[in-house]
């Protein structure tokens, strides 16, 4: 087939590498045909060529003309179909592998069309993701989901809770683990430089763990996010998905939306707010942060946590026949960890214009529960368990959240029910797992204390 509409592939020689790469990403196009004003084809290059040039130290502001391939394969107007097919199978040109599109030039070298060999698959655009904290509770599920979708996944994690969450992934072709610390700029660069998207999950997670060593928390949650942004911008990584938290809302009696005032009550929540601010203030047409404010997570994961309200209450109900309720009237927007990972996938896959610079509360409006309601659900599912009430409340967080934006814009729906999430954990207990649920590796606070 001869394609006469080829404007979207054409770039002027003075287009900068930075402009070209982001335009190619936006249009989901793999090649730049570099033409002068009279449409003479001067050279060809791909997204991969541009990324490599930047890695090799080319200034992102240099022009595409400085790195284009001027010895490209092309066809003349009178080339017959058989020859065109042959040319498309020649794999010396601008892309590794076969050439789906062969430029057709007239006698003056003017581009007049593209021969498209329909039998050759469209070159797959690079789909390579870095997940910081990818060995964690959310990250170990997310890594699996992205690998299953055909992404190349790199995890950068210091393995503070061990590597069990991703152990079996290490044999997979598209998976790479960098055991490293996000506070180390060299390791961040190693992880970021050749990916197309970063999902930033790593950090000291939770109010108690973050209070143990405030300086370490600031380094990990606050300053590392700043470095991450700088490095993404330098290496032209267009999309950064950031795991924030609904705990930025603190305590409030209204139904909270993304427009509500944030009232962080802890250092943890404050570092989430400051990271969100850096991210949004750095957004531009080349850098697109997406902020996901997760609700309160629960459920099974290959890296399990028993310091989250539902998981802890379920374990205590099963192993101790006791469900402790402190206060009980505080609201929590519950979100299954598998649904949280699914929201990250949606944020990676969505067209940039839908998500760029956006904050999304992640959860389901019908899944706001009070602590008392959670206890009652667990009590029903665990025979012989008893609810014990205490009226001291250490944790002042209390928030009920609206999730209509993520449902409307990204179609985030069909939550896993609280009952089935709890039953899944109970099935593991019944099979003899997690008898040591109090072990510090399941608890971020205890792990942090040991690491001091
Ligand atoms: N679990 C929740 O209820 C919840 C709620 C809201 C938001 N979030 C956010 O989601 C993200 C993931 O949380 P999670 O529950 O999976 O936590 P997690 O503690 O299981 O995972 C965090 C991962 O980051 C790694 N990490 C920590 N410090 C690091 C460092 N300095 N360098 C490299 N790696 C480091 C840890 O080893 C761990 O694998 C976090 O950003 C968290 O704030 C979680």
3-state secondary structure of 339: helix
> What is the pLDDT at residue 94?
44
What are the pLDDT digits (tens) for 263-291?
Answer: 999 999 999 999 999 999 999 988 999 99
Q: Tell me: pLDDT of 210 over 50.
A: yes
> What is the pLDDT at residue 3?
77
State the average pLDDT for the chain.
92
Distance 204 CA to ligand 1 centre (A): 6
Which CATH class, in words, describes the domain spanning 2-116? Answer: alpha beta
Task: Give the pLDDT mean for 392-421.
Answer: 91
Q: How confident is the model at residue 122 (pLDDT cuts 50, 70, 90)?
A: low
- In the numeric block, which tokens belong to residue 68? 């284009």
Estimate the share of the chain in helix, then strand, then coil, as percent rounded to the nearest 5.
40, 25, 35
Report percent pLDDT > 70 for the chain: 95
Q: Is 363 in the pocket of ligand 1 (CB under 6 A)?
A: no
Name the residue with the closest Cα to ligand 1, atom 26: 202
Cα dihedral: 331, 337, 338, 344 (round 10): 90
Residue found under tokens 């979207």: 8
Atom of ligand 1 nearest to the CA of 244: 7
3-state secondary structure of 385: coil
CA distances from 251 to 91, 240, 243, 259, 290 (A): 61, 28, 20, 15, 24
> What is the pLDDT at residue 47?
84
Assign domain 128-451 to its CATH superfamily.
NAD(P)-binding Rossmann-like Domain (3.40.50.720)
- Contact predicate 153/134, CB 8 Å: yes
Q: Is 220 in the pocket of ligand 1 (CB under 6 A)?
A: yes
Q: Is 369 in the pocket of ligand 1 (CB under 6 A)?
A: no
Q: Is 134 in the pocket of ligand 1 (CB under 6 A)?
A: no
Sketch the domain layout of the chain as residue ranges.
2-116, 128-451
Verdict on whether the full-model pTM lies above 0.75: yes
Distance 310 CA to ligand 1 centre (A): 18
Kindly give, in sequence order, each residue whose CB lies less than 8 Å from that of residue 122, ignoring residues fewer than 6 positions away.
Answer: 30, 100
> Picking from 55-64, 113-122, 327-336, 398-407, which range would have the lowest pLDDT averaged per residue?
113-122
Task: Give the pLDDT mean for 352-379.
Answer: 96
Residue found under tokens 């101790």: 320
- Contact predicate 301/140, CB 8 Å: yes
Distance 355 CA to ligand 1 centre (A): 22
Cα dihedral: 127, 194, 185, 295 (round 10): -10
CA distances from 270 to 6, 141, 258, 267 (A): 49, 26, 16, 5
What are the pLDDT digits (tens) for 236-259?
Answer: 999 999 999 999 998 888 999 999
3-state secondary structure of 364: coil
> Picking from 280-284, 325-329, 336-340, 378-382, which range would have the lowest pLDDT averaged per residue?
325-329
**DSSP characters for 277-325?**
HHHHHT-BTTBEEEEEEE-EEES--SS--SSSHHHHHHHHHHHHSEEEE
> What is the pLDDT at residue 97?
44
> What is the pLDDT at residue 102?
87
């Amino acid at each position: 087939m001869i394609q006469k509409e080829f404007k979207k592939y054409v770039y002027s020689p003075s287009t900068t590498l930075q402009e070209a790469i982001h335009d190619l990403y936006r249009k989901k196009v793999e090649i730049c045909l570099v033409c002068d004003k009279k449409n003479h084809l001067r050279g060809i290059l791909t997204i991969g060529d541009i990324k490599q040039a930047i890695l090799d130290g080319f200034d992102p502001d240099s022009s595409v003309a400085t790195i284009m391939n001027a010895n490209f394969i092309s066809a003349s107007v009178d080339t017959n179909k058989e020859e065109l097919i042959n040319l498309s199978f020649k794999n010396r040109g601008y892309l590794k592998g076969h050439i789906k599109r062969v430029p057709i030039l007239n006698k003056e070298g003017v581009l007049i069309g593209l021969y498209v060999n329909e039998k050759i698959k469209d070159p797959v655009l690079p789909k390579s993701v870095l997940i910081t904290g990818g060995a964690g509770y959310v990250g170990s599920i997310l890594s699996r989901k992205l690998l299953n979708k055909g992404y190349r996944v790199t995890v950068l994690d210091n393995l503070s809770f061990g590597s069990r969450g991703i152990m079996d992934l290490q044999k997979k072709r598209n998976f790479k683990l960098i055991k490293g610390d996000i506070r180390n700029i060299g390791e961040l660069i190693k992880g970021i430089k050749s990916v197309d998207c970063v999902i930033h999950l790593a950090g000291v997670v939770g109010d108690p763990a973050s209070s143990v060593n405030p300086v370490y928390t600031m380094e990990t949650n606050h300053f590392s996010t700043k470095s991450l942004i700088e490095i993404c911008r330098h290496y032209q990584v267009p999309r950064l998905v950031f795991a924030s938290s609904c705990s930025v809302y603190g305590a409030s009696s209204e139904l909270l939306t993304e427009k509500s005032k944030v009232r962080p009550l802890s250092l943890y929540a404050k570092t989430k707010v400051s990271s969100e601010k850096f991210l949004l203030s750095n957004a531009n047409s080349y850098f697109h942060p997406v902020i996901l404010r997760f609700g309160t997570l629960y459920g099974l994961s290959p890296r399990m946590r028993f310091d989250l309200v539902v998981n802890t209450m379920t374990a205590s109900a099963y192993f101790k026949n006791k469900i402790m309720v402190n206060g009980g009237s505080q609201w929590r927007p519950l979100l299954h960890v598998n649904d949280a990972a699914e929201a990250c996938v949606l944020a990676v896959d969505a067209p940039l214009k839908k998500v760029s610079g956006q904050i999304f509360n992640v959860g389901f409006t019908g899944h706001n529960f009070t602590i008392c309601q959670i206890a009652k659900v667990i009590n029903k599912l665990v025979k012989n368990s008893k609810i014990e009430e205490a009226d001291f409340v250490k944790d002042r967080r209390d928030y009920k959240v609206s999730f209509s934006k993520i449902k409307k814009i990204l179609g985030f729906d069909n939550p896993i029910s609280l009952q089935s999430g709890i039953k899944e954990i109970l099935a593991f207990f019944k099979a003899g797992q997690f008898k040591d649920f109090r072990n510090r590796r399941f608890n971020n606070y205890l792990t942090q204390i040991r690491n001091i």
